């Protein structure tokens, strides 16, 4: 059934007929705004206002209700935890989760909730055009070429460019970069020295987010992984400092000079503790110190890298530190002598704390980094090569790179692809090594700049790497996805490779020990046969006893007694020396009479004479 309604209106009600012509706009009236009245009103945002000049012809109007939008902040908190569980401590939360999972009512409750959750998920899912209809056939992965590109460049804001010593990513998914600038060259002439270091936003390379203004240049700066606003730093004069980005550009607290390091602090690392306020530092003065940010008046503990005896004058200077949060009591120190020391903080004596030592490089150890999946295997960088070690093999590395022409300056494992590690060189090249693909050369080399690269730091997601050079520029390099994601069998293949190489090195070490033992015994036998043995005869009535002594011991004793006699005599005139020599000649004992030969029978003498004639 159609419903129609006819509007009836007279022609006179429509108004005057409109006559159109070509004519420009005319200003009918102009009202000048009065700014004084603006103080009596409040601006409304947003404003929605409509105007209609013609009269409304409809009998009624209908419109939808306008939605009011309000921007508010929301704090997301994870609830349901007991009071005795610290949600910021990973170990306590994992322990509580395991306890809940072992409960008998856990599985039935989850199964009951899964039905409701599955129905909600199925309602939200759309059709996937890339869905695999045949589940038993694995899709073949696409072969992607390894590539890299420079995303951003962060430059030193000082007109006199300073080298970069340390880079640290913020724990909030790596949105910020803390970069330190300091010239560590010994007795380098520095004019108008500026001590500023910077915190950058990754997306804004034009201007630093925060400028840190210490009294002394910062050598290293490290973010707290549990607090985005908290940092610790190592200073050029040996002090350590605590920073809070919410409280300005100056340090919140500094350690006292008397209890600090004697040399520049090259490394600071946070410790996985319940309070989240403990860290430790190392310096080239040979000391490792543990600190608490709440009390920097004195260190909690100090370890001097000299064994035996805690003698700081004989200590080996620490050039780098390594700490793995999953092993809270273990840490590693790289020294200037090329030795890597694996330490245990729970040791009672210094010798127990520094139990394992690896002779790694010819020069200082510049970088140490444990593999994120295989904590027993670690990477060391020094001189012209990179080496992969296992804690089970102390004498030699299980894998190593060939010697490069330029020196290697830094290195680190990829946090997401366990077979990949990065190295920086002094010619400005960033190398990417994948030991599952090839071991003789790097699978990708990127010429980042012409200046020597000093340090690098990998992002937690694995695709971004920040590298700094000696001219104060930091380059953010992004790699292709195949260098940052693990394949299905990568972990299994890498496990087999490390076990095979460790077994091979153990066999070689045992063989070398056998050869060294054989050479040692052989050399001892040669010395015994070649050395002249002195025969001392002493008549004791019935017979003479023969005593054999080592010729070297006898010679050493004679030389020692001669030196003692000359020291006791002192300087004397020549005449007295002649007299002493004459007296010594007079009182020289006569040589012992030779024993008479036994009598010879006439038959034996006659046989000897016949032999002589023949």
DSSP state of 426: T
**Residue-wise pLDDT tens digits, 536-549:** 444 444 333 333 34
Could you tell me the pLDDT band of residue 30, with boundaries at 50, 70 and 90? confident
Any domain includes 13 = no
- Beta-sheet strands, E only, within 148-286: 148-155, 164-169, 176-181, 197-201, 210-212, 218-224, 227-235, 240-244, 253-254, 265-270, 278-283
What's the chain's average pLDDT?
Answer: 80
Nearest-CA neighbor of 165 among 331, 366, 325? 366
Domain assignment present for 322: yes
Structure tokens at 378: 């670690």
Answer whether residue 570 shows pLDDT above 80: no
Closest CA to 272 of 497, 89, 481, 51: 89
- Dihedrals phi, psi of 414, to nearest 5 degrees: -75, 130
- pLDDT of 58: 64
Residue 577 scores a pLDDT above 90: no
* Domain at 265, CATH number: 2.130.10.10
Residue 346 lies in a domain: yes
Position 138 scores a pLDDT of 62
The answer to whether the peptide bond before residue 505 is cis (omega within 30 degrees of 0) is no
pLDDT band, residue 76 (cuts 50/70/90): low
pLDDT at 333: 92
Of these ranges, 131-140, 405-414, 594-603, the one predicted with the greatest mean pLDDT is: 405-414
Q: What is the CB neighbour count within 10 angstroms for residue 112?
A: 9
Non-local (6+) Cβ contacts of 310 within 8 A are 304, 350
Tell me whether residue 237 is in a domain: yes
User: Residue 127 pLDDT more than 80?
Assistant: no
Q: How confident is the model at residue 281 (pLDDT cuts 50, 70, 90)?
A: very high
Sheet holding 265-270, edge to edge: 265-270, 278-283, 287-292, 301-304
Residue 423 has pLDDT above 90, yes or no: yes
pTM of the model: 0.62
pLDDT tier at 489, thresholds 50, 70, 90: confident
Q: What are residue 184's phi and psi, to 5 degrees?
A: -95, 5
Q: Is residue 9 part of a domain?
A: no
Tally of domains in the chain: 1
Tokens 């609830």 belong to 79
Q: Is the pLDDT of residue 421 over 90?
A: yes
Q: Is 95 among the domain residues?
A: no
Helix (H), strand (E), coil (C) string for 436-463: CCCCCCCCEEEECCCCCEEEEEECCCCC
Mean pLDDT confidence for 295-322? 85
Residue 530's pLDDT is what? 66
For residues 183 and 604, the model is more confident at 183
176-180, 296-300, 413-417, 571-575: segment of lowest average pLDDT: 571-575
User: Which of 38-47, 115-124, 139-148, 547-556 has the lowest average pLDDT?
Assistant: 547-556
The answer to the question of residue 12 being in a domain is no
Is residue 260 situated within a structural domain? yes
587 confidence band (pLDDT: 50, 70, 90): very low
pLDDT value of residue 381: 92
Closest CA to 230 of 297, 282, 185, 275: 275
Give the pLDDT of residue 166: 92
Looking at the chain, the number of H-run helices and the number of E-run strands are: 7, 30
pLDDT for the residue 140: 59
Residue 541: its pLDDT value, please? 40
Residue 334 pLDDT grade (very low, low, confident, very high; cuts 50, 70, 90): very high
**Alpha carbon distance 57, 273 (integer Å):** 76
Residue 333: domain span: 148-184+193-485
pLDDT at 374 over 70: yes
pLDDT surpasses 90 at 135: no
For the cut 60, the answer to whether the pLDDT of residue 606 exceeds it is no
Range from 72-81, 83-92, 484-493, 559-568 carrying the lowest mean pLDDT: 72-81
Measure CA of the first residue to CA of the last residue in the chain; give whole Å: 164
């Amino acid at each position: 059934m159609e419903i129609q309604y006819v509007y009836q209106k007279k022609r006179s009600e429509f108004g005057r007929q409109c006559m159109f012509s070509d004519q420009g706009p005319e200003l009918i009236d102009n009202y000048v705004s009065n700014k004084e009245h603006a103080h009596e009103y409040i601006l409304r945002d947003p404003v929605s206002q409509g105007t209609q000049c013609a009269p409304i012809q409809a009998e009624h109007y209908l419109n939808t209700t306008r939605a009011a939008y309000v921007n508010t902040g929301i704090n997301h908190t994870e609830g349901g935890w007991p009071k005795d569980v610290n949600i910021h401590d990973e170990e306590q939360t994992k322990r509580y989760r395991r306890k809940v999972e072992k409960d008998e009512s856990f599985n039935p409750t989850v199964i009951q909730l899964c039905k409701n959750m599955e129905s909600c998920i199925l309602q939200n899912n759309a059709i996937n055009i890339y869905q695999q209809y045949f589940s038993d056939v694995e899709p073949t992965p696409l072969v992607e070429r390894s590539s890299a590109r420079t995303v951003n460049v962060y430059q030193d804001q000082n007109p006199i460019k300073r080298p970069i010593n340390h880079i640290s990513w913020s724990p909030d998914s790596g949105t910020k970069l803390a970069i330190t600038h300091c010239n560590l060259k010994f007795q380098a002439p520095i004019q108008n020295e500026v001590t500023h270091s910077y915190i950058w936003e990754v997306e804004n390379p034009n201007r630093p987010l925060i400028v840190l203004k210490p009294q002394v240049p910062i050598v290293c700066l490290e973010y707290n992984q549990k607090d985005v606003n908290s940092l610790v730093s190592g200073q050029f004069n040996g002090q350590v400092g605590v920073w809070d980005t919410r409280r300005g550009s100056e340090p919140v607290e500094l350690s006292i000079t008397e209890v600090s390091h004697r040399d520049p602090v090259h490394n600071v690392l946070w410790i996985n503790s319940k309070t989240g306020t403990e860290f430790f530092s190392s310096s080239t003065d040979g000391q490792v110190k543990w600190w608490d940010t709440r009390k920097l008046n004195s260190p909690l503990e100090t370890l001097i890298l000299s064994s035996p005896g805690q003698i700081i004058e004989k200590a080996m200077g620490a050039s780098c530190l390594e700490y793995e949060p999953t092993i809270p009591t273990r840490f590693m120190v790289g020294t200037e002598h090329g030795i890597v020391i694996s330490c245990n903080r729970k040791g009672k004596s210094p010798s127990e704390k520094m139990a394992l030592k690896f002779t790694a490089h010819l020069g200082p150890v510049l970088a140490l980094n444990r593999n994120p999946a295989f904590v027993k295997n670690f990477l060391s960088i020094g001189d012209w090569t990179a080496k992969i070690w296992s804690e089970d093999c102390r004498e030699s590395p299980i894998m190593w790179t060939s010697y490069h022409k330029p020196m290697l300056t830094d290195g680190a494992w990829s946090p997401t692809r366990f077979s990949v590690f990065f190295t920086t060189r002094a010619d400005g090249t960033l190398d990417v090594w994948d030991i599952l693909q090839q071991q003789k050369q790097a699978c990708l080399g990127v010429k980042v700049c012409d200046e020597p690269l000093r340090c690098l730091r990998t992002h937690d997601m694995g695709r971004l790497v920040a590298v700094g050079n000696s001219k104060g520029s930091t380059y953010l390099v992004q790699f292709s996805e195949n260098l940052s994601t693990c394949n299905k069998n990568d972990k299994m293949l890498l496990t087999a490779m490390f076990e095979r190489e460790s077994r091979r090195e153990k066999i070689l070490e045992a063989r070398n020990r056998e050869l060294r033992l054989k050479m040692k015994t052989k050399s001892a036998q040669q010395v015994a046969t070649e050395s002249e043995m002195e025969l001392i005869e002493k008549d004791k009535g019935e017979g003479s006893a023969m005593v054999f002594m080592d010729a070297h011991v006898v010679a050493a004793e004679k030389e020692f007694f001669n030196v003692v006699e000359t020291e006791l005599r002192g300087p004397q005139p020549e005449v007295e020396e002649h007299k002493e020599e004459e007296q010594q000649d007079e009182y020289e004992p006569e040589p012992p009479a030779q024993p008479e030969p036994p009598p010879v029978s006439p038959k034996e003498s006659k046989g000897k004479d016949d032999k002589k004639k023949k």
